[in-house]
Amino acid sequence: MAHTKSQGKTNQKSNRPGQRRGIKKFGDQKITVGQIIVRQVGSKFHSGEGTKVGKDFTIYAIRPGVVKFFKKLGKSFVSVVKA
């Protein structure tokens, strides 16, 4: 015989690890091709020169250089400029 009343799904939740989102390379840091700059949900940061956006809104470098963050018309952009 069970000692606790049936709780359904509430007792079956597993503790899942975080997804490690956020800024991976900050401004003025050197970067190589393919390195991830930002992991995000939605487009909080937009892609500028030298960067591309993956299908999960990850921004990554397509050329080597230095990371630059800037704002344009109220939107935040990330770009990679030559060192």
Predicted local distance difference test score (pLDDT) of residue 16: 87
Residue range 36-69, pLDDT digits in tens: 999 999 999 999 999 999 999 999 999 999 999 9
Instruction: Please report, for the domain that includes residue 29, its CATH number.
Output: 2.40.50.100
Task: Examine residue 39 and state whether it is found in any structural domain, yes or no.
Answer: yes
Predicted local distance difference test score (pLDDT) of residue 38: 98
Position 38, amino acid:
V
Task: Examine residue 3 and state whether it is found in any structural domain, yes or no.
Answer: no
Task: Examine residue 74 and state whether it is found in any structural domain, yes or no.
Answer: yes
Closest CA to 65 of 77, 41, 83: 83
Task: Examine residue 12 and state whether it is found in any structural domain, yes or no.
Answer: no
Q: Count Cβ atoms below 10 Å from residue 73 Cβ, excluding itself.
A: 5
Alpha-carbon torsion (30, 34, 36, 42), positive or negative:
positive
What is the model's pTM?
0.81
Q: Write out the residue range of the structural domain in which residue 51 sits.
A: 23-81
Task: Examine residue 68 and state whether it is found in any structural domain, yes or no.
Answer: yes
Task: Examine residue 69 and state whether it is found in any structural domain, yes or no.
Answer: yes
Closest CA to 69 of 33, 15, 24: 24
pLDDT band with cut points at 50, 70 and 90 for residue 29: very high
Lookup result for tokens 């591309």: 52
pLDDT band with cut points at 50, 70 and 90 for residue 31: very high
pLDDT band with cut points at 50, 70 and 90 for residue 80: very high
Task: Examine residue 4 and state whether it is found in any structural domain, yes or no.
Answer: no
Q: Give the count of domains, the chain.
A: 1
Predicted local distance difference test score (pLDDT) of residue 39: 98
